[in-house]
Structure 1
Amino acid sequence: MKQSIFAELLKLRHSRIGLVLAVLPIISLLFGCTNYYFNKGVLGNGWYSLWSQVSLFYGEFFLPILIAICCSYVCRLEHLNRNWNMILTSPVSVASVFLAKLFVVSILVMFTQTFFLGLYWLAGTLSPLPGPFPVETIGWTVRGWFATLSISALQLGISLRMRSFATPIGISLCAVFIGLGMYAANLGMFFPFSLLTIGMSVLSQDRLTDIQNILFWIVNLTFVIIFASISIRRLKNKDIVSS
């Protein structure tokens, strides 16, 4: 497992994925801050109002797309030059290959979450916004990262089966709108993309009840296990088309 993770990290050397991880949070923050600035008259809750704006663009649209990009990127090399044939006939287990990729994607997303939180703090400090920095946003960021694990497991399974780099990203964008619908129908706990909305407190900063909080963590973990199990089983039992 360690060797598989090390191999995945080596593939990221000299890549430009870090630029994507930095640019998308910056763009989403600029959009959110601009929207906050022009609507200060109705957004009078300081730090929390700013969070509602920046996290709306970031958590609802840019972050799911970024996850899809990361998943497609870590699978890109395997889809070239029939590398899947070499990997699937190597002594490394299929489970190790999938879990190593999932681990690397989760680390990349964790970096992005931390960077986004730092940008949020910087924007609020430079404004400046009244009152202290809300420590709840740290918990929302961590909870949002955990929600990305189920999305990552799903997107990674899609990227492993598809040679196209862009198609899984398009699927992710469609799932975003489905997630918004599920959230509006109060069914957000049962769809991975809606769980991200809940986890980051994007549309509502109301505190989750104890039952909701427990359900959030359990459902996310269940999704990760289900998506990972399905993908690993498919890798074991079905051929992958490579170029």
Structure 2
Amino acid sequence: MLRRCLEAEWRKLRHSRMWLILLVLPVLSTLIGFANYWMNQAILRNGWYSLWTQVSLFYGEFFLPILIAICCAFVCRLEHVNRNWNMVLTAPVAVSQVFLAKVMMVSILIFFVQLFFLALYICAGFVAGLPAHFTFPPEVFGWIMRGWLASLTIIVFQLWLSMRIQSFALPVGISVCSVFIGLGLYVSGLGLFFPQSLLTIGMGVLSQDSMTVGELGTFVVMCVLFVTGGCALGIRRLIRADVMSQ
């Protein structure tokens, strides 16, 4: 049944314009970061690492959380129209599978966005002429994967919000506010206790220092706890909600 739920989510996205947003936002964030790097090369002298600080700052700190919020709002949009939640929740499918299918679909989309951003970062480095002078940082692959893992913590809570709120824009607006809260918590040393801050840590946005084994273990544990808690909230919402009021 989970496979059929995934197929249904795929059909909703296949002919939508969501793909344009998935492509445009990473390109836009890379262009902004690259332009900032290009104009400040006299200060930013650490090659690939300096380029990463610029492109990942705009992408990981701002554009990716907003992109996640848009994806989550979109996959819940059809259900909010004409009380379609009633039809979904009266189908012979467990509500947990309905929620998990949405989580998996958005997670798959963000995974490919992460790979696309990695390709854009490499291309930006070639355009800047970095391969001739600097060694490509092997840590970048860890940043991409940890960033994707941290994005799962944002996905589950954004889906929970999008299921509760019929408006498309409001959950996205909440995500924008959460970005600044996460940045404040990261600066305060409390980054492990908020999803957006976990994304900042995972992608090495503000610090490219390698994680120790203990720090990596703590990071993974916090991601698992957030994902588990977010899934529990989302499934509980579907079980207990008065769907006729959607």
AA at the equivalent of 2:154: I
Map of 1:113 onto structure 2:
114
Instruction: Looking at secondary structure, tell me which structure has more helix per residue.
Output: 2
Map of 1:225 onto structure 2:
228
What CA distance in whole angstroms lies between the structure 2 residues aligned with 1:46 and 1:163?
Answer: 45
Map of 2:184 onto structure 1:
181
Query: In the alignment, does 2:77 pair up with 1:76?
Result: yes
What CA distance in whole angstroms lies between the structure 2 residues aligned with 1:94 and 1:232?
Answer: 7
What CA distance in whole angstroms lies between the structure 1 residues aligned with 2:57 and 2:100?
Answer: 30
The alignment covers a number of residue pairs equal to 242
Query: In the alignment, does 2:166 pair up with 1:170?
Result: no
1:134 Cα offset (Å): 1.6
Map of 2:218 onto structure 1:
215
What CA distance in whole angstroms lies between the structure 2 residues aligned with 1:139 and 1:181?
Answer: 24
AA at the equivalent of 1:225: T
1:24 Cα offset (Å): 0.2
Residue among 227, 235, 239 paired with 1:236: 239
Partner SS state of residue 182, structure 1: helix
1:183 Cα offset (Å): 0.3
Map of 1:14 onto structure 2:
15
What CA distance in whole angstroms lies between the structure 2 residues aligned with 1:41 and 1:34?
Answer: 13
Map of 2:163 onto structure 1:
160
Where in structure 2 are the equivalents of 1:106-145 lying within 5 Å? Answer: 106-129=107-130, 130-145=133-148
Where in structure 2 are the equivalents of 1:52-71 lying within 5 Å? Answer: 52-71=53-72
What CA distance in whole angstroms lies between the structure 1 residues aligned with 2:121 and 2:5?
Answer: 34
| Deviations, residues 140-164 of structure 1 (Å, cap 9, x unaligned) | 0011000000100000000011110
Q: Give aligned-pair identity as a percent.
A: 57
1:133 Cα offset (Å): 2.1
Task: List structure 1 segments (4+ residues) > 3 angstroms apart after TM superposition.
Answer: none
Q: TM-score, with normalisation over the residues of structure 2?
A: 0.97
What CA distance in whole angstroms lies between the structure 2 residues aligned with 1:203 and 1:111?
Answer: 23
What CA distance in whole angstroms lies between the structure 2 residues aligned with 1:107 and 1:209?
Answer: 28
Task: Give 5+ residue unaligned stretches, structure 1.
Answer: none
What CA distance in whole angstroms lies between the structure 2 residues aligned with 1:208 and 1:183?
Answer: 15
Q: TM-score, with normalisation over the residues of structure 1?
A: 0.98
Partner SS state of residue 189, structure 2: coil
